[in-house]
Amino acid sequence: MLGLPILYPNELIYSLVARAKVHSGITSPKRLLDEIYADRNLIATVDLPSHLAEISRQYSVALNITVPLLIYRHTLFPLYAPFIEEKRRLAGIRWMENQSKGRIHLSFGVAASLVKQPNQLRYCPKCFDEQIAQYGERYWKRNWQVPGATWCSVHQIPLYEFSIPLNYEHRHEFYAASRSVKDRQLHDLKRESLRCSIMAKQLLETEPQESPTVHQWTCYYRDLIVSSGCNRGSNLNYGEVCDRIYSLWHKDWLFYNHLALSEKESCWVKSILRKHRKSFSFIQHMIIQSSLSDEYVPFSEVLTQVKQYPEKSKAVCQVPLSQKINRKKRSKWLTVLKKFGCAHAKSRGYLALYMWLYRHDYIWLMRVNKRYQRPMTYINNRVNWNKRDRLFVRKLSKLLDSFEEDHYSPRRSSTFLLSRLGLRTWSHRISGKLPLTRQFLDRYSESVEQYQIRRLTNQYISFYLQNTEIQRWRLLRSAGLSEERLTLLAQCFLSMLMEGVWETIDLNTSLKTQL
């Protein structure tokens, strides 16, 4: 490869690699990874890619294309940076510069977030036309891939979804920007989507800066609640907050983005307006900030206001006071504790006694409660794992039977077979509950050696039936293999093929010639 093309404004790193593939005429995804990253196991990531140091090295020093510039101008990193702690922000930059192995998505809360990343690439058809007129080719802009932003903020039209999904079957493939008749137009609420697009654009244009602390966000939202009149004394008036949110954000849009409001204590609105114990998506911050503010405030000013608060809460030195031991209350609580246990004692009319001891004799109460703590046995019967185990084995067996005549199918690995069943994750905890499925996969899933041998066999039979001269280099090239990537078992098999060990076997598979 002669080099990477020049980056366009707001172009994703994913799009850059896809354009490099087209410019170089490379058709093999693994060869493309070898040429650019020197790592064949890298997964094509849209939002937070890694190995950016390899991208930066391929440009001239005069262009000043550094890793921070790539992160803040050509990825979705600025959408997460202001809402995570500074320590995690710096760790994320290191992971994106070198190798991440999925840690950045876990650390930033992307994997467990209520707001899910789009499963397919998005584009604006009018922006595509302008790119063709200006640059002569299309590319993927990062503004289109923002969750919740399904309208183009420039042309104010709905975005389209690219027809090929980003899934495990093609996780090494980089798709160049293009259009097809199978692409689907997104029909979402215009007002909310445009507002989300505009606010996301402001965040994407922010310069690298230190992230506010969790305590600063907590203080900011406490003052915002009071200034908006959504407090009831020192508590949150949740009903008033919901009314303000619904006045700006439609219920259908909230539901579509998995942000529907509820009366549960675990509702995300209650969590974000209380003491922050985790990070939240920029959409959640955007909804709360826009709903509780009387006037429009740009996100840059919001970050400035948040950083004015102290980074940490003030340390309070507690001076222990001499307490008189109330042995009568202690004795009464011990009797109740032995009879009912702690949880049942509070629900049987002894809550007042518990609260008195909690306030005046806390250390003794915690120590004695721990001594008489009863183990809780919880059996999860929501899923019949034995039934599911047998069902998965039957489905896997039928799936393998369907591949019996398909000699050119992808490698039938455990991940590939499970993805065909719709099971994307396969952890040790789940595999322990599905012993039959685990044994089936261990026995019948295809290894790398077996897959290479199958590819060599298919090409050998194809050459034999076409009366083509069989040479080692030609067989490897047709099978999409190379000497460097050939496993030891496949090397032995290929050597035996070239030595003519199976020359006496009739490889003609036609039934007519056999008759």
Could you report the per-residue pLDDT of 253-300, keeping only the tens digit for each?
999 999 999 888 889 999 898 888 788 899 999 999 999 988 888 888
Percent of the chain, pLDDT > 90? 35
Per the structure block, which two tokens stand in for 101? 């192995």
Residue 357 sits in the same domain as residue 486: no
Number of residues assigned to the chain:
515
If one compares 2 and 221, the residue with the highest pLDDT of the two is 221
Q: Could you give the CA distance from residue 144 to residue 123 in angstroms, rounded to a whole number? A: 6
Residue 22 sits in the same domain as residue 132: yes
Residue 75 sits in the same domain as residue 131: yes
Residue 295 sits in the same domain as residue 361: no
Q: How confident is the model at residue 349 (pLDDT cuts 50, 70, 90)?
A: confident
Q: What is the Cα 242 distance to its own chain's centre?
A: 28
470, 429 in Cβ contact below 8 A? no
Could you report the per-residue pLDDT of 42-95, keeping only the tens digit for each?
888 899 999 999 999 998 888 889 999 999 999 999 999 999 999 999 999 999
Q: Is residue 142 part of a domain?
A: yes
Does position 119 have pLDDT exceeding 50, yes or no?
A: yes
If one compares 24 and 347, the residue with the highest pLDDT of the two is 24
Q: Is residue 317 part of a domain?
A: no
- The SS3 call for residue 469 is coil
Q: Is residue 107 part of a domain?
A: yes
Could you report the per-residue pLDDT of 429-454, keeping only the tens digit for each?
777 888 999 899 999 999 999 999 99
Does position 406 have pLDDT exceeding 80, yes or no?
A: yes
Residue 99 sits in the same domain as residue 52: yes
Residue 40 sits in the same domain as residue 187: yes
Q: Is residue 314 part of a domain?
A: no
Mean of pLDDT values over 101-106: 86
Confidence at residue 10, expressed as pLDDT on a 0 to 100 scale: 92
Q: How confident is the model at residue 167 (pLDDT cuts 50, 70, 90)?
A: low
Q: What is the Cα 492 distance to its own chain's centre?
A: 41
Residue 71 sits in the same domain as residue 92: yes
Residue 139 sits in the same domain as residue 247: no
Residue 295 sits in the same domain as residue 150: no
Percent of the chain, pLDDT > 70? 92
Does position 511 have pLDDT exceeding 70, yes or no?
A: no
Q: Is residue 202 part of a domain?
A: no
**DSSP 8-state code for residue 288:** H
- The SS3 call for residue 369 is helix
Does position 504 have pLDDT exceeding 70, yes or no?
A: no
Does position 507 have pLDDT exceeding 60, yes or no?
A: no
Confidence at residue 506, expressed as pLDDT on a 0 to 100 scale: 53
For the chain, the domain total comes to 5
Query: 372, 397, 425: which is the final residue of a domain?
Result: 372
Does position 243 have pLDDT exceeding 60, yes or no?
A: yes
Could you report the per-residue pLDDT of 415-429, keeping only the tens digit for each?
888 888 877 666 677
CB burial of 404-417 (b: ≥16 within 10 Å; e: otherwise) equals eeeeeeeebebbbb
Q: Is residue 235 part of a domain?
A: yes
212, 285 in Cβ contact below 8 A? no
Could you report the per-residue pLDDT of 171-197, keeping only the tens digit for each?
888 999 999 888 899 877 888 899 999
Hey, which residues does 235 pair with through a beta bridge?
232
Residue 466 sits in the same domain as residue 331: no
Q: How confident is the model at residue 515 (pLDDT cuts 50, 70, 90)?
A: very low
Confidence at residue 30, expressed as pLDDT on a 0 to 100 scale: 85
3-state secondary structure 78-97: HHCHHHCCHHHHHHHHHHHH
Q: Is residue 515 part of a domain?
A: no
Domain extent for 360:
327-372
Confidence at residue 373, expressed as pLDDT on a 0 to 100 scale: 77
323, 360 in Cβ contact below 8 A? yes
Report phi then psi at 155, rounded to 5.
Answer: -100, -10
- The SS3 call for residue 232 is strand
Residue 285 sits in the same domain as residue 335: no
Residue 165 sits in the same domain as residue 285: no
Mean of pLDDT values over 375-382: 70
CB burial of 308-344 (b: ≥16 within 10 Å; e: otherwise) equals ebeeeeeeeeeeeeeeeeeeeeeeebeebbeeebbee
Mean of pLDDT values over 151-158: 91
* Mean pLDDT computed over every residue of the chain: 86
Q: Is residue 313 part of a domain?
A: no
